[in-house]
Amino acid sequence: MPESSEFIVPPCHDAVRLLYEDEQLLAVDKPAGLLSVPGRHPANRDCLITRLQQDYPSARIVHRLDMATSGLMLIALNPDSHRALSRLFEQRQIHKEYHAVVAGQVAAHEGVIDLPLACDWPRRPRQHINFGHGKPAQTHYRRLDTSATQSRLLLTPYTGRSHQLRVHCASLGHPILGCEFYADASTRDASPRLLLHASALQLLHPVSGEALSLHCEPPF
C-alpha cells in the first residue's frame, strides 16, 4: 500500500524468522505485510527492526524490502559491520535472487530487462520507465515453471531501484500476482499477497572475508 502520514498498516501477526547469526550480522526472513522500518504514522511502529531490537538492541537496518515483499534481509549488529555491509550493497557486491509468480506464460526461457526507472511523482510511490530522466535498471530473469495462466520466475536484479522487479515484470506484459501498483484487477486479485520473495543472498562476510551464501525458500 502507498504510505501517507494518515495510512495505518494492517497488523502483521507472522513472526520474523532468524536464519543466520554471528557477532557481526543477522540474516532474517521478513514476512509479507511487515514494514522494514517504522512508518510515518505513530501507529506504524511495528516493523522488522523494532522487533529485532527487542532482542538485539544494537541491530541496524542495512537495506529494505517493500512491506508486501517477503524474504531475506541482512541486519548489522555494530557500526563497523553496518558500514561494511552498506558499502557492499552500494558497490553491488551482493548477489540477490528473488522468486516471483507472474501472470501468463512467459515465452522466453531467460532474458535481461534493461529499462531505466524514475519516480512517477504524481502517483508516488509508483515508478515508471523513463528514458529521459530515469536511472539505469537491469534485471535478469529465468523461467522456472509455467502453466496456462502463470509463470514462476527467478529474478536477479543487477541494480536496486525502487519497485524495479515489479515494473520490469509488468514491462514484459507479465505483472506479478497480487501487485496493487502495476497489475490489472484480475492479476492483483489472483493472490491475497504480492508473490515476490527475496530467496537468496551471496556475499563476502564483512569481517572474515569468507563466502556467505544464504537461502530462504519462498512460501508460495
Task: Please enumerate in sequence order all residues whose Cβ is within 8 A of that of 134, keeping only pairs 6 or more positions apart, or say none.
Answer: 115, 116, 117, 118, 128
Answer yes or no: do 83 and 120 share one domain.
no
DSSP label of 11 = P
Q: Is residue 212 situated within a structural domain?
A: no
Q: Which of 29, 66, 145, 184 is catalytic?
A: 66
Q: CA 153, CA 99: separation in Å to the nearest integer?
A: 6
DSSP label of 220 = -
* Residue 120 annotated to the active site: no
Question: If the chain, 220 residues long, is cut into consecutive pieces of 10 residues, what is the mean pLDDT of each piece?
Answer: 66 96 98 94 92 98 97 98 97 97 97 98 95 97 97 97 98 98 98 98 96 98
C-alpha cell at 111: 532474458
CB 170 within 8 A of CB 102: no
Q: Is residue 206 situated within a structural domain?
A: no
Q: What is the pLDDT of residue 39?
A: 87
**What is the model's pTM?**
0.95
Answer yes or no: do 53 and 116 share one domain.
no
Tens-place pLDDT, residues 16-44: 999 999 999 999 999 999 999 998 888 88
Number of domains in the chain: 2
Domain range for 85 = 17-93
Q: Is residue 51 situated within a structural domain?
A: yes
**Final residue of a domain: which of 93, 127, 149?**
93
Q: What is the pLDDT of residue 2?
A: 45
Answer yes or no: do 88 and 115 share one domain.
no
**Final residue of a domain: which of 75, 93, 111?**
93
Strand (E) positions, 44-90? 60-61, 70-76
Q: What is the pLDDT of residue 5?
A: 56
Q: Is residue 141 situated within a structural domain?
A: yes
Q: CA 137, CA 164: separation in Å to the nearest integer?
A: 7
Q: Where are the alpha helices (DSSP H) in 54-207?
A: 79-90, 164-171, 185-188
Q: Could you tell me the end-to-end alpha-carbon distance of the chain, in angstroms, rounded to an integer? A: 20
Q: Is residue 82 situated within a structural domain?
A: yes
Answer yes or no: do 47 and 134 share one domain.
no
CATH number for the domain spanning 36: value is: 3.30.2350.10
Answer yes or no: do 171 and 141 share one domain.
yes
Q: Is residue 144 situated within a structural domain?
A: yes
Q: Is residue 204 situated within a structural domain?
A: no
Residue whose entry in the numeric block shows the C-alpha cell 527492526: 49
Answer yes or no: do 51 and 126 share one domain.
no
